[in-house]
Amino acid sequence: MNKWFSAGFFSHGVHNLTPRESFALCEGGAIIVDVREDYLSAFKMFKVDKVIYIPLSQLEEHFKELPDDKPLIFADSVGLRSHEGVLFMNSHGYDNVANMAGGIVDWERDGLPINTDVNYRLSGSCMCQLKAREKSKNKP
């Protein structure tokens, strides 16, 4: 364990937290870094005091903007791309990062607070085919 996180588990060199552990840490000042692409993060968002949105595709150019004096919990839909983000941050000397295993899918399943904007609902038969829904011409 490191000075930032006493909860969680290590797997493949990455500190992992459950959504419940992540939520408790956020109540104590930790920050969620949501690395989902914009079209995925607009529909369902983590409802905590501090969330920073940096898509994984933009992390390399923006990681220095992240605070190094607060615990950062990287999150995505299920915890796979956020795992990549934690590895990237670790390789650049950051020790204040952890991965949220299960992402927003497990966060919601655990009944933790989310904000939902139905205007950004996605459609598709599986995660690999999700796309933004077409808006009806009769609706604003």
pLDDT in single tens digits along all 140 residues of the chain:
456 677 888 888 899 999 999 999 999 999 999 999 877 666 688 899 999 999 999 999 999 999 999 999 999 998 889 999 999 999 999 989 999 999 999 999 999 988 776 665 655 555 544 445 444 444 44
In-domain check, residue 100: yes
SS3 content of the chain, % helix, strand, coil (to 5): 35, 25, 45
Residue whose token pair is 């898509």:
55
Tokens of 49: 């005091």
pLDDT for residue 70? 93
pLDDT for residue 118? 66
Pairing of strands 131-132, 122-123: antiparallel
Amino acid of residue 75? A
In-domain check, residue 93: yes
In-domain check, residue 95: yes
In-domain check, residue 89: yes
Residue whose token pair is 């990062």:
97
Amino acid of residue 44? K
- For the chain, what is the domain count? 1
Pairing of strands 97-100, 72-75: parallel
In-domain check, residue 46: yes
CATH number for the domain that contains residue 43: 3.40.250.10
Amino acid of residue 74? F
pTM of the model: 0.81
In-domain check, residue 117: yes
pLDDT for residue 73? 98
Give the separation between CA 93 and CA 71, rounded to whole angstroms.
Answer: 14
99 phi and psi, to 5 degrees? -105, 135
Kindly state the greatest CA–CA separation across the chain. Answer: 55
